[in-house]
């Protein structure tokens, strides 16, 4: 299909300015007049960065891999200009024995390139967001169909629109709350369960005395530890990111947050075999919907995006594939291929 002049383009609202929403906006360049709505203060979603004092933490996605041709092609210019850089940490597997003492760690080899955005994870989202029409701190609460198209309502009662098409990239439970039940993919969204994850962020006045930069943890409430400041382009202040397992987070989702923080901190000290007296900043973050859970069979039977051309609604996001940064990108790509042929001049509601 031929790209048209901006003033005649169909109007598309994208809910969520994470990797899926921003990728979709990129694919629709020249085909649609896109407006993004994001409930947070910044872009990036689960691929974001927190700052405190002189510390910085990638508290969501730690790195990403690129296995598809499409994602590798997309990353090429971003690698060339340094927005994305390879991260080659020394990675160990840590575990505790039955007595709760640290077992001898063993080295893990990473056999494929692992990438991060530099100087922080949300820099990639910021680059993709440049010069886009994005309404930040706008949490949408529902959609209303009018004769002219879709009206969007936010939690403050303001209305936005009118839009010809609406796409949600919010995690499945949040998308369920937004889209009408007559949406053809509604059952797929409703049947997707997502699990939480706790992130403990630690700022250290002195570097951690270990010979690794990242650790995969077994048999613990902790799943992953990263010396976040070891990633390329970061500052010199030593920051640690500790992720709980999804199972443990689900069991403790509503627990007292100070208690959760304490348990993760104690487990960390046991794993590294040191009491971390140099910690001068400590903060817990709860990801309510970190990743989709379900059997491989369930995941394989779900389409990579959801599309209802009659209602002019769509859904994409990592949870429709395997819950990674690359899957958010691929789900958005799949949806763009379905929507673009409908964006001709006679495709209005």
Ligand X SMILES: Cc1cc2nc3c(=O)[nH]c(=O)nc-3n(C[C@H](O)[C@H](O)[C@H](O)COP(=O)(O)OP(=O)(O)OC[C@H]3O[C@@H](n4cnc5c(N)ncnc54)[C@H](O)[C@@H]3O)c2cc1C
**Can you give the binding site for ligand X, defined by CB under 6 A?**
15-21, 37-40, 45-47, 60-64, 139-140, 169-171, 174, 178, 197, 199, 243, 287, 290, 317-318, 323-325, 328
Residue 277: CB minimum distance to ligand X, A: 27
Q: Which residues does 196 contact at the CB level (< 8 Å), separation at least 6? A: 246, 249, 250, 253, 286, 287, 288, 289, 290
Task: Please list the alpha-helical segments (H only) found in the chain.
Answer: 19-27, 69-80, 122-129, 172-178, 186-190, 246-251, 257-272, 296-301, 325-339
- Rank residues 189 and 328 by Cβ distance to ligand X and give the closer one: 328
- Rank residues 78 and 102 by Cβ distance to ligand X and give the closer one: 78
- Rank residues 170 and 311 by Cβ distance to ligand X and give the closer one: 170
Give the side-chain half-sphere CA count within 13 A for 344. 4
- Rank residues 204 and 305 by Cβ distance to ligand X and give the closer one: 305
In contact, 59 and 49? CB cutoff 8 Å = yes
Residue 152: CB minimum distance to ligand X, A: 9
- Rank residues 22 and 204 by Cβ distance to ligand X and give the closer one: 22
Residue 90: CB minimum distance to ligand X, A: 17
Residue 14: CB minimum distance to ligand X, A: 9
CA end-to-end span of the chain, whole Å?
19
- Rank residues 162 and 347 by Cβ distance to ligand X and give the closer one: 162
Residue 344: CB minimum distance to ligand X, A: 27
Closest CA to 290 of 160, 210, 178, 199: 199
To 5 degrees, how large is the angle CA 253–CA 259–CA 265? 105
Residue 161: CB minimum distance to ligand X, A: 14
- Rank residues 61 and 335 by Cβ distance to ligand X and give the closer one: 61
Closest CA to 200 of 263, 264, 255: 264
- Residue facing ligand X at closest CB distance: 45
Task: Residue count of the chain, please give it.
Answer: 349
Task: Please list the alpha-helical segments (H only) found in 46-200.
Answer: 69-80, 122-129, 172-178, 186-190
Torsion, Cα 202 206 209 214, to 10 degrees, reads 40
Residue 322: CB minimum distance to ligand X, A: 9
């Amino acid at each position: 299909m031929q790209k048209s002049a901006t003033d005649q383009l169909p109007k598309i609202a994208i809910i969520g300015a994470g990797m899926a929403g921003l990728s979709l906006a990129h694919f629709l360049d020249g085909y649609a007049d896109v407006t993004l709505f994001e409930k947070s203060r910044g872009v990036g979603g689960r691929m974001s960065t927190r700052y405190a004092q002189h510390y910085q933490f990638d508290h969501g996605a730690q790195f990403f891999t690129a296995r598809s041709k499409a994602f590798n092609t997309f990353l090429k210019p971003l690698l060339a200009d340094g927005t994305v850089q390879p991260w080659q940490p020394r990675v160990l597997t840590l575990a505790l024995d039955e007595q709760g003492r640290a077992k001898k760690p063993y080295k893990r080899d990473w056999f494929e390139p692992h990438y991060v955005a530099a100087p922080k994870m949300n820099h990639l989202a910021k680059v993709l967001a440049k010069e886009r029409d994005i309404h930040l701190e706008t949490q949408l609460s529902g959609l209303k169909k009018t004769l002219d198209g879709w009206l969007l309502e936010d939690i403050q009662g303001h209305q936005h629109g009118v839009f010809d098409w609406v796409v949600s990239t919010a995690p499945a439970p949040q998308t369920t709350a937004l889209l009408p039940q007559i949406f053809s993919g509604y059952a797929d969204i409703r049947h997707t369960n997502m699990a939480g994850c706790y992130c403990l962020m630690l700022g250290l006045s002195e570097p951690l005395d270990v010979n690794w930069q990242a650790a995969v943890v077994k048999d613990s409430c902790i799943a992953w530890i990263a010396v976040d400041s070891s990633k390329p382009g970061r500052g010199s202040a030593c920051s640690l990111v500790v992720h709980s397992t999804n199972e443990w987070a689900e069991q403790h989702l509503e627990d007292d947050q100070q208690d959760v923080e304490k348990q993760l901190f104690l487990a960390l000290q046991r794993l590294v075999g040191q009491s971390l007296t140099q910690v001068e900043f400590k903060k817990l973050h709860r990801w309510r919907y970190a990743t989709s859970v379900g059997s491989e069979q369930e995941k394989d039977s779900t389409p990579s995006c959801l599309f209802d051309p009659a209602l002019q609604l769509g859904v994409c996001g990592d949870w429709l594939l395997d819950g990674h940064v690359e899957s958010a990108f691929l789900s958005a790509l799949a949806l763009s291929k379905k929507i673009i042929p409908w964006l001709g001049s006679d495709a209005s509601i």
